Amino acid sequence: MTPDQLAHIRSKIEARIEEIDNALAEDDPESKPVAPDVAIGRLSRLDSMQAQQMNLAQQRRQREEKEKLESALERIEDGSYGICAYCLSPIAYERLEAMPDAVVCISCAR
């Protein structure tokens, strides 16, 4: 991987982390428990509880993704980024471009 390619992936990772941070910040008021005394019918209360569950699941995924991206940034810092954790071969740039948090090469992922 060339330094340019690495810089490109790095900025992609940083942009994605920012995106997740923004999404999590926006979602925050939604994650509060649904107040029982809210005067919205039984059904819509159920709906909003369901929506809240989905929201929480999505936030969990976003946090996990952010953690992976942050560890990818750490690997960029220490120079181990783009090396398959399993067979130690370089991971194809195309794969990293599509999936910057990939830790194993395409053959090991199969």
- Residues within the interface to Zn ion (CB under 5 A): 84, 86-87, 105, 108
Number of neighbours of residue 27 by Cβ within 10 angstroms? 14
Distance between alpha carbon 82 and the CA centroid of its chain, in Å?
Answer: 18
For Zn ion, the closer CB: 72 or 84:
84
For Zn ion, the closer CB: 7 or 90:
90
Q: How far is the CB of 86 from Zn ion (least distance, A)?
A: 4
Phi/psi at 29 (nearest 5 deg)? -60, -30
For Zn ion, the closer CB: 34 or 83:
83
